[in-house]
C-alpha cells in the first residue's frame, strides 16, 4: 500500500473523529466544514481503492487474500456516505454519534487493510 495515503487517511479520521466528538457533545448537527472534511476523506478513500486495485493487479502482494483486500477497500468507501446520510437524516445527537461510529469503523478498516496487505 501507499504509506503516505494510509497515514493521511488515519490523520483525517483522527481529526474528523475529534471534530465529531465536539459536535456530539455540543448537540450540533454536522456542519458544512465537517461535511467538507468527510468529502476530502472519501476522496482519499477513493484514491486508495484505485491505487490498491492497481497495486494488486501489478504484483498481487496482498498476502491476506486479494478478495478480502478488495472487499475491505470497497467497504471502507461505503461506510462514510452511509454514516453521513444517517447523521443528516436524524436530527438528534444520536445521528451525529452514528457519524462518529462510522469514522471509527473507517479507521479500523484501514488498519485491517494494512494487515491484509502485509499478511499479518
- The pLDDT of residue 55 is 87
Residues 59-80: tens digit of each pLDDT: 767 777 888 889 999 999 999 9
- The pLDDT of residue 65 is 82
Closest CA to 42 of 82, 86, 69: 82
Look at the chain and report how many structural domains it folds into.
Answer: 1
Does the pLDDT value for residue 45 go beyond 90?
A: yes
Q: Which residue is listed with cell 494488486? A: 56
Does the pLDDT value for residue 57 go beyond 90?
A: no
Contact 69, 115 (CB under 8 A): no
Which residue stretches of the chain are H helix? 3-26, 32-59, 66-89, 93-118
Residue 85 grid coordinates: 446520510
Does the pLDDT value for residue 17 go beyond 80?
A: yes
Q: Which domain holds residue 42?
A: 3-118
Percent of the chain with pLDDT over 70: 98
- What is the mean predicted confidence (pLDDT) over 86-104? 92
- What is the mean predicted confidence (pLDDT) over 82-94? 92
- What is the mean predicted confidence (pLDDT) over 82-110? 93
pTM: 0.90
Q: Which residues contact 68 (CB under 8 A, 6 or more apart)?
A: 62, 116
Contact 75, 21 (CB under 8 A): no
Amino acid at each position: 500500500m501507499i504509506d503516505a495515503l494510509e497515514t493521511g487517511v488515519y490523520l483525517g479520521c483522527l481529526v474528523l473523529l475529534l471534530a465529531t466528538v465536539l459536535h456530539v457533545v455540543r448537540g450540533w448537527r454536522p456542519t458544512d466544514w465537517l461535511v467538507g472534511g468527510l468529502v476530502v476523506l472519501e476522496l482519499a478513500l477513493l484514491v486508495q481503492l484505485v491505487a490498491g486495485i492497481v497495486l494488486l493487479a501489478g504484483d498481487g502482494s496482498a498476502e491476506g487474500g486479494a478478495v478480502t483486500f478488495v472487499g475491505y477497500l470497497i467497504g471502507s468507501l461505503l461506510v462514510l456516505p452511509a454514516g453521513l446520510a444517517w447523521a443528516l437524516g436524524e436530527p438528534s445527537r444520536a445521528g451525529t454519534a452514528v457519524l462518529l461510529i462510522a469514522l471509527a469503523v473507517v479507521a479500523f478498516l484501514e488498519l485491517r487493510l494494512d494487515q491484509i496487505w502485509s499478511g499479518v
